[in-house]
């Protein structure tokens, strides 16, 4: 008998379902690769996809994709054990992306930007290798807010973070089912599901421009939950309306 979901777990599953339906993220026969870093966001997304698979009224497949950045080649062992226990397919590999991003090879970009670019390139290659139609990332509402503000401050563009983007002429869809969920709800759900998270050994962890921007948001709110809620709800509604309109179709068998 399935265990009843807690409020935080329901929030993640239902909000993901809303985003998937409004933005027409997947369709019958979809093959989804879930990019799992080991952090709570991507791990919760993997769990959510497992539960959504039981709810969606048509069949789709998913698998975990993990590219270890190379600082600790063994730290993804908890993920391998969890996937075996849950019966979920996965591709786990060790790369040298992290050390390369912090070396003299990277002279122009931040280590995080360079490492993320290498990782995404590898994830795209894995999607082609396994014949995947979708690549899912665990970006959440906090990421949407910081990305929006970074675009506005650094480039003068009013732009967010798409929930459903086509790549390579439509052969691959990049989706972000958790973009309506705040980090705090994801953190609670991860604890309640007892997901085997592991620490990030990257020397740049917590010292990114995104972290600085989120601190700016918290300073703007000055501890006011109403101000914070207005910022988050306003931007998530805007992004959902933007992507929902862009991806709307008459085909009822798409979620």
Q: Is the distance from CB of 186 to CB of 41 less than 8 angstroms?
A: yes
Q: Which sign, positive or negative, has the C-alpha torsion 65, 70, 73, 77?
A: negative
Q: What is the 3-state secondary structure (H, E, C) of 96-158?
A: CHHHHHCCCCCCCCCHHHHHHHHHHHHHHHHHHHHCCCEEECCCCHHHHHHHHHHHHHHHCCC
* pTM (two decimals): 0.92
DSSP 80-101: HHHHHHHT--EEEEE-SHHHHH
CA distance 253 to 12: 22
Query: Distance between CA 25 and CA 173 in Å, rounded?
Result: 8
pLDDT, one tens digit per residue, over 41-87 is 999 999 999 999 999 999 999 999 999 999 999 999 999 999 999 99
Give the tens place of pLDDT for each residue, 6-17: 999 999 999 999
């Amino acid at each position: 008998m399935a265990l009843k979901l807690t409020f935080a777990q329901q929030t993640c599953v239902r909000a993901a379902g809303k985003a998937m339906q409004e933005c027409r993220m997947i369709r019958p026969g979809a093959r989804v690769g879930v990019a799992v870093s080991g952090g709570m966001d991507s791990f919760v997304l993997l769990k959510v996809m497992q539960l959504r698979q039981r709810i969606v009224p048509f069949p789709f497949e998913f698998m975990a994709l993990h590219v270890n950045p190379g600082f600790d080649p063994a730290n993804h062992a908890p993920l391998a054990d969890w996937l075996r226990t849950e019966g979920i397919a996965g591709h786990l590999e060790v790369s040298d992306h992290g050390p390369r991003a912090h070396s003299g090879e990277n002279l122009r970009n931040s280590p995080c930007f360079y490492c993320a670019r290498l990782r995404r390139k590898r994830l795209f290659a894995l999607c082609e290798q396994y014949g995947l139609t979708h690549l899912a990332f665990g970006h959440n509402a906090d990421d949407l807010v910081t990305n929006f503000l970074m675009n506005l401050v650094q480039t003068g563009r009013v732009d967010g973070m798409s929930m459903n983007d086509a790549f390579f002429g439509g052969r691959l869809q990049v989706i972000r089912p958790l973009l309506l969920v705040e980090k705090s709800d994801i953190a609670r759900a991860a604890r309640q599901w007892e997901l085997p998270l592991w620490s990030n050994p990257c020397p740049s962890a917590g010292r990114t421009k995104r972290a600085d921007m989120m601190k700016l948001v918290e300073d703007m709110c000055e501890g006011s939950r109403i101000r914070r809620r207005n910022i988050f709800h306003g931007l998530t509604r805007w992004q959902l309306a933007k992507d929902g309109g862009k991806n709307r179709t008459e085909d009822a068998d798409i979620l």
